[in-house]
Amino acid sequence: MRPSERPLITADAIARRVTELGDAISTDYADRDLVMVVVLKGGLFFAADLARAIRRPMALEYVRARSYDGQRSTGAVEVAVVPERPLAGAHLLVVEDILDTGRTTQTVLDMLADMSPASLALCTLLDKPVRRIVPVSANYVGFTIDDFFVVGYGLDFNERYRELPSIHVLE
Ligand code: IMP
Ligand code: MG
């Protein structure tokens, strides 16, 4: 198994889309200070670029959720890292690498909703809607893709390939 030679989504295309998302989020949060909740590890690269494309005051928090063993979803989701401070009354924007079955994201959203935020929104770089099992949808989507297993720009296969600048299909 290795990444396709040709990217599915190039680093340039990602950068352009991140700028667009940053503009949209800056407009939507014009009168709200936001807390970006980065879902580790996959959301790291996207969140780092997106944060710099949002021209609004923000704070960062991290959560760590895992549901994947290689290419197979085990169904079990573990939230291993939780926010360091209470988030009651905060405007939360969860930043995810990919929305697949929806199990991971739903678990994260449920945990954050329990903290009584003022608002809770979701931004995902990639969306694979045909794979959805739990009916979760994102407020902001970078790219909608077909049912490919992809790596790069934060996305891994058994912890490999996160560092690739573009997104590739694993073949
Ligand atoms: P879900 O809980 O099924 O939505 O899975 C979400 C998690 O599975 C993501 O945060 C990724 O870590 C992983 N995942 C799902 N699809 C892919 C993929 O195509 N490439 C790499 N990781 C993926
Ligand atoms: Mg993963």
Model confidence pLDDT, tens digit, residues 69-99? 555 556 678 787 788 888 999 999 999 999 9
Give the model's pLDDT for residue 75: 67
Rounded distance between C-alpha atoms, residue 150 and residue 136, angstroms: 20
Give the model's pLDDT for residue 83: 84
Q: Which residues crowd ion ligand 2, with CB under 5 Å?
A: 68, 156
pTM over 0.85, yes/no: yes
Give the model's pLDDT for residue 74: 61
Mean pLDDT of the chain: 93
Give the model's pLDDT for residue 66: 75
What integer is the mean pLDDT of 53-62?
96
CB neighbours of residue 44 within 10 Å: 17
CB neighbours of residue 126 within 10 Å: 25
| CA of 131, closest atom in ligand 1 | 3
Question: What's the distance, CA 110 to chain centroid?
Answer: 16
